[in-house]
Amino acid sequence: MHSERKLSTAYKLALSIIAKETGAVSAGYGYRLYAAAKLVATHTFGDAPALDVLFVPGGFGNVALDQANDTSIQTFLRNRFDAVDYLLSVCTGSVFLASSGLLNGHRATTNKMSWDWVTSHGENVTWVPSARWTQDGKIWTSSGVAAGIDMTYAFLKHLYGEDDPVLIRTMNGIEYAPHTDPNWDPFSIVHNRRDSEEGNLFGDSKPSRSHADSADDATHQEPQQNHHDRLAGSIAVIRLEVEDMRERAEIKALMLIWASVLKDEAESYSRIRGRILKLAFRE
């Protein structure tokens, strides 16, 4: 990455922010009335310098460009792909990789909430519905926004090494504990994107089949079972798995999944979720 302003004192690293025109570029999108920051584009697609790493963000602006049939980003990606060492996308940024043809014959993922729209682009793409991020050769793609941080951490480890002191110090400094398993993806279940694979709450530490099966049995084999008994049974299954989980975030994700499973029952989704969280986290 290149630019006039250095971003790191530890490594020779620089940044170019590239857009159609130089200057301030709003992150806002049409009718959406939230506060939108502005980025300052340092280069245009026509005068951008040689690049080592090309990083493509997501966002609602991608939808606007697609609706306007604006293919300037796709053209830029195709023109630069052979020369870059790595091409990365976050969230819906993979829609540009797909529609430019660069994902043909490759594995990729994207934001699970925008799954249908993104995956309607491109040909011969192996879309992975349950993945925090994917790596296929020099192409890296991540799921939704926060997954991009985890992918970037994995990418930096790939570049600088597992035990790089600068990277460790940076993560400790920002107090961020990244997910390091690319297969960890509870949101594929939340957004019902288990098209070809099972959503994965546990990454490499999946629960035993007996526990998972008992959850299915409690939900499906006795449709007339009392709702409150079913809820209690689900909570019991959750509590069995808590000891096997490595991070509190995964526990919370599991609570959300079970709330989603039960949300069509007599009680409201919010009440069920509240009861599960209260029982599972009580001291």
**Using the 8-state DSSP alphabet, how is residue 97 labeled?**
H
**Are the beta carbons of 53 and 86 closer than 8 angstroms?**
yes
Q: What share of the chain is helix, strand, coil (3-state, %, to 5)?
A: 40, 15, 45
Contact at 8 Å (CB) between 131 and 144? no
Question: Quick one: which of 26, 45, 42 has its CA closest to 34?
Answer: 26
Strand 107-108 to strand 126-127: parallel, antiparallel, or no bridges (unpaired)?
A: parallel
Distance CA 186, CA 146 (A): 13
Sign of CA dihedral 156, 200, 198, 146: negative
The active-site residue, picked from 88, 91, 218, 245, is 91
Q: How far apart are CA 119 and CA 85, in angstroms?
A: 25
Nearest CA to 199 out of 183, 213, 188, 212 is that of 188
Helix or strand holding residue 79 (H, E):
helix 72-80
Active site (annotated) includes residue 168: no
Q: How far apart are CA 265 and CA 165, in angstroms?
A: 51
The dihedral of CA 232, 238, 241, 242: what is its sign?
A: negative
Residues forming beta bridges with residue 56, ordered by sequence position:
89
- Two tokens at 191? 């957004």
- Give catalytic residue positions: 91
